[in-house]
Chain A
Amino acid sequence: MSDFSEELIKSTTEDDQGERCELSGTGMHFPWLQKHIETVATGGKKEKDFAQTTSACLSFIQEALLKHQWQQAAEYMHSYLQVLEDSDSCKRQAAPEIIWKLGSEILYYHPKSNVEAFNTFADRMKNIGVMNYLKISLQHALYLLHHGMLEDANRNLSQAETWRYGEKSSSQEVLINLIQAYKGLLQYYAWSKKKMELSQLDKDDYAYNTASQNMLDHSWKTSVNLGALIQIPGVWDPFVKGYVEMLEFYGDQDGAREVLTNYAYDEKFPSNPNAHIYLYNFLKREKAPREKLISVLKILYQIVPSHKLMLEFHRLLRKSEKEEHHKLGLEVLFGVLDFAGCTKNITAWKYLAKYLRQTLMGSHLAWVQEEWSSRKNWWPGFHFSYFWAKSDWKEDKALACEKALVAGVLSGKGTWLCFLFI
């Protein structure tokens, strides 16, 4: 049995795996274990010729794919299809997924393949066995979506949506939700197209009314489709974005806020910076009070202190009346400049130079000291080294000046002078 297929039918081979891992005692699974055993084992049940040829064929296909020999891979694939008649039921069950995986890849990259061929293949594969219908439908729809065939994709998803087999398992449920969400996304695309048309129409026109009526219908359907999925923990950026846009359009501000807040703050969700960014942007559009904005960005600051919104955050904090916000404003600037990707951000340096001066004038030396104490052993080497001074001066004199100014304020006269006059 090859590694590839093994990994796919993990549920059926779990016991075997456990048996084999037992020796190492670590529970680690080694895909190359079989190879070692084969050099030693002489007895044991021999694989049948059929199994040998199919597994050899599988490895040929994989090899051809990795060498981009699509033509050859397709030829091998032709022979590999015999695996569907394997007498080993466990292999036979795993086969459709492998065939789909490899076959779709071949068809995706093969220079002579086209959408029709892919469609035919996908439709056939869906109905071999029952386990893969949803997965293949979803991927097929994505393929069509990618190729701009939205209607076909929609039809596909609608078909898949109503498909049921046996008891609904949780993975099936997630898949159905996903399918519905993608359908919702398609509807959102249609909606946003209509919205654009609408904006070009005259409001008094008769067509306007029908169009807006259509849009209302869409909105309702979409909200049903999208709403279910985004309750499940995950990263659903495109869905959330579209959903919120629609809710906002129809004036359901509370609903939109709820969706976004849930997306950002639900503990079961991964800490997705975009969730906070969407919420912030929404609140900004809504003209929420500064306090509110600051509290959203504060959390974003904790997750991604290097985000470009941090400069905006700093501006908000600077404008705030609260002293602790002023202090945080300094911290945020330092935080941004800590990151390797931001060292040449001249705005940040400008802000820092200006704000340092302001802070010191406001006799908050302690704040600066606090920030500086943890950085003084590495910022000079990181930002104010001779190398950077030279290269900054060559590339961007303004940046070099700002940096020199900050260096001067922070590290005393000795260092920055040399930095400035290189």
Chain B
Amino acid sequence: MAQYDLTSKIAPQLDRHLVFPLLEFLQEKQLYPDDQILKSKIELLSKTNMVDYAMDIHKSLYRTEEVPQEMTDRRVEVVARLKSLEEMAAPLIFFLQNPSLVQELRSDKQYNLQMLNDRHQIGPDQIEALYQYAKFQFECGNYSGAADYLYQYRALCTNSDRSLSALWGKLAAEILMQNWDVALEELNRLKEIIDSKNFASPLNQLQSRTWLMHWSLFIFFNHENGRNGIIDLFFQERYLNAIQTNGHHLLRYVATAVIVNKRRRNMIKELVKVIQQEQYAYKDPITEFMECLYINYDFEGAQKKLIECEEVILNDPFLGKQVQEGNFVTVPLRDEFMENARLFIFETYCRIHQCIDIRMLADKLNMSYEEAERWIVNLVKNAKLDAKIDSTSGTVVMGTNHTSMYEQIIENTKQLSMRTYVLANNVASAAVPTAQAASSMRV
């Protein structure tokens, strides 16, 4: 299944720290040899300050207690730097940790800066130090600390570029702490800035959007309302463009979200269009499933793809999230996906048939005859399907839904008289005031 693994495509668009969850997942799924994953983890860590963690991994990888000299050196260096940064930011941190002092802050940034400078001798240098300190904390893996500091930094910072980076940092930290609600808020804030800000170059903007979309995957597939969110975000014109130019692989997530989301059926057409256009650039079982079903009407093909889809979902770090339910471990998304996909197939199938053999249907839907019958009865009962079951021949007969020509004409002409009436009234009422005005003038 490794051929459908997107980690290598997604990782470049993520923050270093955000890649860890993906690697963890891969390790669990055993798609790749353990060694390889551990090595890449160390490599990943080498650029961060999480030296202790790196050491642990090193030990488990080479099964030794020895730790290379450079790691220990680096540890010392990191600690020293942490100290010095802490010192520099100390006055401001002290100030911020004192609730009574924080009370003095107001919503006016200029005032705050002035006040800090005058009363507490905290100048721009200290504020800058706070940023550096927060960044360092983040790199050390202390996400909650970093998130707090960055939040406060944003309240005080005047440099918009810095503020933007702080926001990115905050988002990453929230994601890593799995505070999905807060993360979603930050995401929206960031999105607003990206969309409104006049970026130096469109290229830059595009890159930011791509990043944002990749980061948002963490949130959308974990947040309870994420499935609507992802559709809302990704189907926006500009984001769709970004997907098409820069991140074709995101189509998998869009497609999944659309299939799973019952209320967003109207997006299917748009999605299919995009998938068809990009099929030369990106293909995986999920998009192929859509293609089979909505472009080629190849139901057998769709069926085959559906089986592959299951595998893909299980092995995808975002889609294949497991939930412990009692003794079972389930992947809720997979179940939903399969259910909905089946429904899609059936629905499309019904639309072009007037008579379907239930046995065949059961075959296609991977159900037994009785199951299939029950399923259809349920659909009919819920008024989702205009059909009857002919149980002697074992077929489903669709109701015809062609409106007759007469009905159409009646439908179309029905409100004509009403409209004319309103129009006439309007004309008349518009004419009266003028007439009055004219007569009053004369008087």
Q: Do A and B come from one complex?
A: no
Interface residues of B (CB under 8 A from A): none
